[in-house]
């Protein structure tokens, strides 16, 4: 009976992947920062308790001596930390909280659990090997205790809550250099482009809307309303009657069947104000309505009501705005 037969009798699978050691990922100049040193020191504390090694994954071999001094047993130099760590079968991977995005990419590649912004250190359950930590919630008023039980466990640490790290210049470690190429950049420079802002913005984004209706009287007033909207830095819109008159298109129709809006200022010129229109402007912070009919329903939804012909009010507003 050989070792394989004995292992089969005991229910062990020698072909199964094994995960071990603590890996600290510190790309760029992170290893030389207080945050990087604090994560290495925390990894060293956990490794001493678990009886395993600490591996520092760096992008510059000049940072290797500092990583070893702060607790790493091996320094791995690579241009692609995600690809390199993915091929090493780590059990624990630690990073500073400033590298949450990198930690998320690692977690996706390794199919692992992830805790972000852990405060006051980590611990490992001696029976289940679960990685446990706490992170603040509700603006820091409470701490939420979390545990990662997957074969690979990843955490980012809020290093401001960790004790200061001290270097041991007498420590020695091994440096390994990987020949992995650098990953493809996440962005590409496509050169200069000629940008022209759109002729109009969605009405839902407008902070000022000048809206017109059939009570404007004639098409000549539309140009004045457009000039007023431009001087106010706003958008020109209208109700269904303005669309039926051909003064606006469908994208600029205010109404339940068109666009519901919530600007800081909604200036209604010549809009009678039926239920379909008024229900679409309930989110406006301030509504000013101008109409010749004192019984116009728009006045029930307005903060300021002006009983006058819009054709008389428009030139006065334009003159007041210079």
Average pLDDT value for residue range 299-314: 93
In a domain, 1, yes or no: no
For the ranges 46-50, 75-79, 187-191, 302-306, which has the lowest average pLDDT?
Answer: 187-191
Kindly state whether residues 215 and 302 are assigned to the same domain. yes
Give the whole-angstrom CA distance, residue 107 versus residue 127.
Answer: 23
82/134 same-domain check: yes
Same domain, 263 and 173: no
Residue 4 pLDDT:
47
Indicate whether 166 and 33 sit together in one domain.
yes
Q: Is 26 found in the same domain as 146?
A: yes
Q: Please give the C-alpha separations between residue 122 and each of 53, 115, 117, 131, 154, in angstroms, as whole numbers.
A: 16, 10, 11, 7, 11
In a domain, 186, yes or no: no
Q: Where are the alpha helices (DSSP H) in the chain?
A: 3-9, 34-50, 64-69, 81-86, 100-110, 220-231, 240-244, 275-278, 310-320
Mean pLDDT in residue range 130-146:
91
Asked whether residue 219 carries a pLDDT value surpassing 90, the answer given is no
- pLDDT of the residue at 65: 94
| pLDDT at site 200 | 57
Report whether pLDDT(203) > 80: yes
Assigned domain for 265 exists = yes
Q: 307 lies in which domain range?
A: 203-320
40 and 154 fall within a common domain: yes
- Asked if residue 80 and residue 122 are part of one domain, the reply reads yes
| Tens-digit pLDDT profile for residues 228-253 | 999 998 999 999 999 999 999 988 99
Q: Are 154 and 30 members of one domain?
A: yes
- Residue 81 near residue 57, CB atoms below 8 Å: yes
Which residue, 143, 160, 177, sits at the end of a domain? Answer: 177
Does residue 212 or residue 198 have the better pLDDT? 212
In a domain, 77, yes or no: yes
- Residue 199 binned pLDDT confidence (cut-offs 50, 70, 90): low
Q: What was the pLDDT predicted at 206?
A: 87
- Is 4 a domain residue? no
| DSSP conformation letters of 121-149 | EEEE-TTT--EEEEEEEGGGTEEEEEEE-
Same domain as 173, residue 28? yes
Q: Determine, yes or no, domain membership for 191.
A: no
User: Where do we find the tokens 């428009």?
Assistant: 314
pLDDT tens digit sequence for 70-105: 999 999 999 999 999 999 989 999 999 999 999 999
Mean pLDDT computed over 147-170 = 94
Shared-domain flag, residues 313 and 215: yes
Q: Does residue 183 lie in a domain region?
A: no
For residues 131 and 47, state if they share a domain: yes
The DSSP H or E segment spanning 154 is strand 153-157
Round the average pLDDT of the chain to a whole number and report it.
89
Q: What is the pTM of this model?
A: 0.57
Least confident span in 16-20, 154-158, 294-298: 16-20
In a domain, 6, yes or no: no
CATH of the domain at 255: 3.40.50.1220
Query: For position 117, which CATH number holds?
Result: 3.40.50.620
Enter the tokens of residue 18: 């094994």
Distance CA 180, CA 79 (A): 6
Same-domain check for residues 161 and 278:
no
Q: DSSP secondary structure string, 193-254?
A: ------S---GGG-SEEEEE-GGG-STHHHHHHHHHHHHTT-EEEE-HHHHHTTSS-GGGBB
Q: What's the pLDDT band for 283 if we cut at 50, 70, 90? A: very high
pLDDT tens-place string over residues 1-47: 444 454 455 554 434 344 579 999 999 888 779 999 999 999 999 99
How many domains does one find in the chain? 2
């Amino acid at each position: 009976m050989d070792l394989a037969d004995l292992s089969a009798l005991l229910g062990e699978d020698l072909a199964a992947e094994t995960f071990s050691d603590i890996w600290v990922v510190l790309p760029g100049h992170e290893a030389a920062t207080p945050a990087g040193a604090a994560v290495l020191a925390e990894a060293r504390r956990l490794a001493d308790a678990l009886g395993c090694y600490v591996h520092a994954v760096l992008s510059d071999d000049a940072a290797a001596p500092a990583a070893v001094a702060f607790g790493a047993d091996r320094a791995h130099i690579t241009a692609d930390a995600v690809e390199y760590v993915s091929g090493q079968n780590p059990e624990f991977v630690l990073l500073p909280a400033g590298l949450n995005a990198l930690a998320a990419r690692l977690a996706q590649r390794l199919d692992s659990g992830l805790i972000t912004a852990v405060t006051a250190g980590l611990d490992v359950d001696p029976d289940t090997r679960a990685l446990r930590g706490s992170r603040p919630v509700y603006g820091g008023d409470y701490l939420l205790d979390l545990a990662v039980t997957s074969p690979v466990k990843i955490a980012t640490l809020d290093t401001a809550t960790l004790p200061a790290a001290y270097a041991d210049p007498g420590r020695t470690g091994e440096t390994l250099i990987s020949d992995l190429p650098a990953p493809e950049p996440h962005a590409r420079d496509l050169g200069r482009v000629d940008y022209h802002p759109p002729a109009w913005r969605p009405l839902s984004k407008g902070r000022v809307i000048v809206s017109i209706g059939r009570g404007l009287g004639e098409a000549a007033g539309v140009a004045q309303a457009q000039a007023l909207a431009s001087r106010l830095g706003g958008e020109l819109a209208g109700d269904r009657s303005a669309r039926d008159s051909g003064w606006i298109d469908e994208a600029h129709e205010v109404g339940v069947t068109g666009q519901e809006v919530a600007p800081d200022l909604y200036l209604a010129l010549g809009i009678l104000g039926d239920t379909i229109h008024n229900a679409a402007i309930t989110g406006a912070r301030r509504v000013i309505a101008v109409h010749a009919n004192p019984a116009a329903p728009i006045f029930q939804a307005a903060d300021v009501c002006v009983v006058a012909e819009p054709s008389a009010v428009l030139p006065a507003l334009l003159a007041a705005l210079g």
